[in-house]
Chain A
Amino acid sequence: DIVMTQSPLSLPVTPGEPASISCRSSQSLLHGHGYNYLDWYLQKPGQPPQLLIYLGSYRASGVPDRFSGSGSGTDFTLKISKVEAEDVGVYYCMQALQTPLTFGGGTRVEIK
């Protein structure tokens, strides 16, 4: 199985300030098509996860442009340019390269 490792576990943030979450995979997620099969999801309290970023850097429909994804191979980053109060929750990266699909342990973002 591909192991996904996220850091930090917890991220206190000040509204208006930037935030960054790291995700590393135990093997490259770069497919022969040239796509990195890495997604980012946000799970707000009491809700199912919602898609933010797919293929490492493509914003999902309706996702604010303050969210951006970058990286390739085994190292990926999710950045929030200016955190808003509604961004609190747990962020998960997930590899979609092969089954079993696997998720990172999550990063809890909370407002200071």
Chain B
Amino acid sequence: QVQLQESGPGLVKPSQTLSLTCNVSGDSINSGGYYWSWIRQPAGRGLEWIGRISTSGSAIYNPSLKTRVTISLDTSKNQFSLKLTSVTAADTAVYYCARFVVVAAASRYFDSWGQGTKVAVSA
């Protein structure tokens, strides 16, 4: 059974870059049929999709964050990463990594999530 675990600093200063890593265990990140994704959730609020990367390394981002976000894949370490530049207090949230299933037309859903990591943006 695949497991995902986020890691990274819990506190980032305004205008700096937020960097998180998602370690994947129990399955190869190279397995076809999946998109590796980041989602965030401000405290007490709903879910916002940040973006995703395919096993080929092709990434798609939420247009609301597109100019500031980069998702990358490290197949040698079986992990993928998120970088969000020029952060402000509005980027304070719990950040989740998740696996999105796209094996066939009859599958488009998140089947596995990390536990989430809290990131606060504050001086």
B110 near A100 (CB under 8 angstroms)? no
Most buried by B among A48, A50, A100, A106: A48
Select from chain A the residue with minimum beta-carbon distance to B102.
Answer: A96
Measured in the bound complex, the distance between the Cα atoms of B98 and A100 in whole Å is 15
Q: A96 with B64: in contact, given A49-B113, A103-B46, A106-B46 (CB under 8 Å)? A: no
Minimum Cβ distance to chain A for residue B4 (Å): 9
Q: Are A99 and B46 in contact, CB atoms less than 8 angstroms apart?
A: no
Contact B105 A54 (CB under 8 A): no
Contacts of A104 in B (CB 8 A): 46
Contact A92:B46 (CB < 8 A) given known A33-B105, A39-B109, A51-B110: yes
Residue interface bits B86-123, CB-to-A below 8 A is 1, else 0: 00000000001010100001111111011110000000
Determine how close the nearest CB of chain B comes to the CB of A62; give it in whole angstroms. 11
Query: Which B residues are CB-close (under 8 A) to A39?
Result: 108-110
Main secondary structure of the interface of A (DSSP, over half): loop
Q: What residue in chain B is nearest A95 (Cβ atoms)?
A: B108
Distance from B47 Cβ to chain A, minimum over Cβ atoms (Å): 4
Give bound CA distance, A33 to B109, whole Å.
16
B26 close to A (CB within 8 Å):
no
Contacts of B48 in A (CB 8 A): 103
Give the CA-CA distance A51 to B111 in the complex, in Å: 6
Q: How far is the CA of A35 from the CA of B108 in the complex (A)?
A: 10
Q: Which of A39, A51, A101 has the most CB of B within 10 A?
A: A101
Cβ–Cβ < 8 Å partners of A54 in chain B: 107-109
